[in-house]
Chains A and B, each alone.
Chain A
């Protein structure tokens, strides 16, 4: 694996919602280049445009300006077929597992979609079941207990693990994890992160964490991008950005992290 090759990069990436007096610039001329194999974190407050950036990277929103390059090639996803090809390479885990599933479709249907997407639609059913069982056991779920169940019958942590099982089946090159642990309890949080890291080792993908939690970013990532009002204000290796922050915004984000061994200093908030 060539760790220096750029897998995803962007130049002047901009997203503007509305027009005229109601114009909101969600993402403002952002440049970035993500190296393959690295763990990347994009950190920012709510409203800083990080989720919009994630949707732009995923191709769920169209760019107002700028260009995104995937594996050195300019990304072209105008037709449905091109999008489908692109989505074989980039997948996502959403923040709220309870709203991320269609509540009218069963769990096996969700997983079968992934097999279909990887071109396994014509495989014999037994083989599909074997693949689903393997994916579920990877995330410590028992597939045989899940068939005929609906996603909303699972707990939040189980649903998020099912989401990882989805990614396991799809084997994308990039995984965008948009606040993957913010809606689940603290005990499941570490499990989910460990599974994502194990998955990274298993299929060699490049994870991009979108988070407000700078502690999480420091814990998992190699490169950190700090985002404020639609712009990257600071970026660099995790140690550099978090241990020696240059920007006041980054220092504020760091200060917001509760420290258990000392009292909170509320005067700086």
Chain B
């Protein structure tokens, strides 16, 4: 190997090292920006969550927990309404959404939240949710037990694809 080959080889390796350092710095910067965006997004989310919660509580309303479970041909929807009289709960299931409205018995509210000032007005569940897939509401089978409503409903067959 000549002297010049050796010099060129060292220059090439040094250039590689510099490029690697620059690229690793870029990775760090990218991770830093990503965490900054995540933090910003989470701040906006928390702000929205607080606004929604305060607005609901002012009306004495709690948004019930609703869980969607894909069982293949069917969708199982769980509506958690602890402390309510399920026989008088209003559930409206459409092909794409479900809306829920039910009173909460005051003794349950007192036992659950004690003297918390924000809970004094709470008297009702209310919420509307988009379904994860279209369903056929006519096939719905409803089961009610201990403050939980379980709905099994067939998924709607796919709409024909337009040419």
Interaction A to B: no
B positions within 8 Å CB-CB of A:
none
A positions within 8 Å CB-CB of B:
none
